[in-house]
Structure 1
Amino acid sequence: MISSIYYTESKLLDNLESKRILHVQCHFGLDTLSLACLVVKEVIGIDLSNIATEKASQLAERIHLNHIVEFICCYIYEIGNHLKINNENDLFDIIFISYGTAKCFPDLNKWGQIIESYLKPYGSFIIVVSHPIIRNFDDKYEHLLLNIQKGTYTDLNVLTQQKSIRWNHGLTDIMIMMALIEHHLKVDVLKEFNTIPFNCFHNLCQITDDEEYQFKEFKEKLPLAYAIKTIKINDTSRN
């Protein structure tokens, strides 16, 4: 199986052997299955689309990874009804979130608290997403976005039309969420990238063979993505 994990996040997802991973907003599971190929102990992917999780489960069985991969259909705010934590062995070494996910959550504070509660002590929370600064170049972007979209984000030619609601969170929102749970999570990595691994705007150009893109006009002057990696620590370990 060819990995769908991009170069940017691959640098943060190292030493995965024997790790238990929770992948939030996994969609139809390509990244989840790519993680499973990296000698992990177990990966659980959650998504709010039952169609997506059903397809993901079928794909896992097809490529014989269903013994270490599980997909659960639920909204992140309702995860406690579907994924029980009875003891520390039920917690996760890594929780991973990537592109196109944060905008699905209206309340990042509650979201962050849920993430923290599912991490083992010294476990890692990794988020890699597009940088909110790129929305500054479109005056139509507000905090709450209502889109009527033809096709899907993976195939614009599909004969379908659907309504979606998204929350346009700024970097400040993310950092406030981190600050509210700072007594349990220590920021280990905060990094901006001047490229993004997909062509999401009409005025981007490909600059490497690894399918990295940046704005033609700004080149290396504008961040297009960022990554945050935090480590869960015990209160007794704080200086």
Structure 2
Amino acid sequence: MDDYLRINEASWNARVPIHVASDFYDVAGFKAGRSPLRAFELAEIGDVAGRRLAHLQCHFGLDTLSWARLGAEVTGLDFSGAAIEQARSLAAECGLPARFVTADVYDAPQALGETYDIVYTGLGALVWLPDLTRWAETVVALLNPGGFLYLAEFHPFQNMLDDDTGTRVVRDYFNREAQVWEYPYTYTGDDVLEYQTSVQFDHGVGDVVSAIAAAGLRVEFLHEHDHTLFRRFAGLVESDGAYRWPAGAPRIPLMYSLRASAR
């Protein structure tokens, strides 16, 4: 636990060049105008034109810059210096106004020194944070009155299931111990990572909602989705760029989204 931040920073710095070059992120497509934002995110967040948006744990900025293309005044924050360097370079190349800051998410209020209409956190972010209470309090400190948090995440229910078929319960949903992983690859392909250790933290949906409510935000909705962005289990089938269980098969939630407003 004492070293989780240093370990994960090294892991993510090593992933950046692999991710930038990957088909998964399709940076060339982004430069040509493609948006990686999901349809449900666009519908649930609504018009961002003229609004100040902070993207926490922004990686190398594709989602952040997509919000900029839609008219938001964006700031991205990530603890990976390599990711922020790439984000700044991409913003300059695409001619998109954006501010990118290197800092731990828990230090965001001090590192950014500003408040926002929208705090956005995208998929795969919360698993890297040990303390959701502190995270929610950080979000509140960044929000203007009447602003809102928008969170899209992979659903923790799927983490209970076996990685091959997704049909057998093999893990404890309520295990909150830090998990140390040694894995040679990142999720974008078969390129071997220079630094292969990471530390992750599972959080249940109840943990997330409770932390947000305790921090003083009002939950507007919690939506669960039956699709995900990659073939998480072998039985999922692709449809319109998303992966779902075949028609007629029992479904489980694979992602969820939440919006909560500041009072």
The partner residue of 2:194 within 160, 170, 189 is: 160
Which secondary structure does the structure 2 equivalent of 1:199 belong to?
A: coil
Distance in structure 2 (CA, Å) of the matches to 1:111 and 1:97: 11
Please state how far the C-alpha of 1:215 moved relative to its aligned partner: 3.6
Q: In 2, are the aligned partners of 1:193 and 1:226 still within 8 Å (CA)?
A: yes
The amino acid that maps onto 2:90 is L
Q: In 1, are the aligned partners of 2:109 and 2:141 still within 8 Å (CA)?
A: no
Q: In 2, are the aligned partners of 1:151 and 1:160 still within 8 Å (CA)?
A: no
Q: In 1, are the aligned partners of 2:56 and 2:105 still within 8 Å (CA)?
A: yes
Give TM-score, length-normalised by structure 2. Answer: 0.79
Distance in structure 1 (CA, Å) of the matches to 2:180 and 2:235: 23
Distance in structure 2 (CA, Å) of the matches to 1:69 and 1:199: 32
Distance in structure 2 (CA, Å) of the matches to 1:118 and 1:171: 22
* Alignment match, 1:108: 132
* Alignment match, 2:115: 91
* Alignment match, 2:207: 173
Contiguous gaps of at least 5 residues in structure 2: 1-32, 163-169
Which secondary structure does the structure 1 equivalent of 2:123 belong to?
A: coil
Identity %: 30
* Alignment match, 1:49: 80
Q: In 2, are the aligned partners of 1:192 and 1:224 still within 8 Å (CA)?
A: yes
Distance in structure 1 (CA, Å) of the matches to 2:213 and 2:193: 43
**1:82 lines up with 2:114 in the alignment:** no
Residues 218/49 of structure 1: CA separation in 2 closer, same or farther (3 Å cut): farther
Residues 120/202 of structure 1: CA separation in 2 closer, same or farther (3 Å cut): same
Which secondary structure does the structure 1 equivalent of 2:196 belong to?
A: strand
* Alignment match, 1:222: 252
Which secondary structure does the structure 2 equivalent of 1:150 belong to?
A: coil
Distance in structure 2 (CA, Å) of the matches to 1:103 and 1:159: 19
Please state how far the C-alpha of 1:44 moved relative to its aligned partner: 0.5
* Alignment match, 1:35: 67
For each residue in 1:69-123, what CA deviation from the matched residue of structure 2 results, as whole angstroms up to 9, or x when unmatched? 0111111112234212xxxxx3101010111100111000010001011101111
The amino acid that maps onto 1:164 is S
Residues 49/32 of structure 1: CA separation in 2 closer, same or farther (3 Å cut): same
CA RMSD in angstroms comes to 1.8
* Alignment match, 2:243: 213
For each residue in 1:49-81, what CA deviation from the matched residue of structure 2 results, as whole angstroms up to 9, or x when unmatched? 10011011100001111xx20111111112234
Q: In 2, are the aligned partners of 1:127 and 1:227 still within 8 Å (CA)?
A: yes
Residues 23/212 of structure 1: CA separation in 2 closer, same or farther (3 Å cut): same
Distance in structure 2 (CA, Å) of the matches to 1:220 and 1:7: 24
* Alignment match, 2:20: none
Q: In 1, are the aligned partners of 2:153 and 2:255 still within 8 Å (CA)?
A: yes
* Alignment match, 1:186: 218
Give TM-score, length-normalised by structure 1. Answer: 0.86
Which structure: greater helix fraction? 2
Q: In 2, are the aligned partners of 1:214 and 1:220 still within 8 Å (CA)?
A: no
The amino acid that maps onto 1:25 is Q
Q: In 2, are the aligned partners of 1:148 and 1:161 still within 8 Å (CA)?
A: no
Which structure: greater strand fraction? 1
For each residue in 1:144-181, what CA deviation from the matched residue of structure 2 results, as whole angstroms up to 9, or x when unmatched? 22111213222332453410000011112112202212
Q: In 2, are the aligned partners of 1:194 and 1:220 still within 8 Å (CA)?
A: no
Number of equivalences: 221
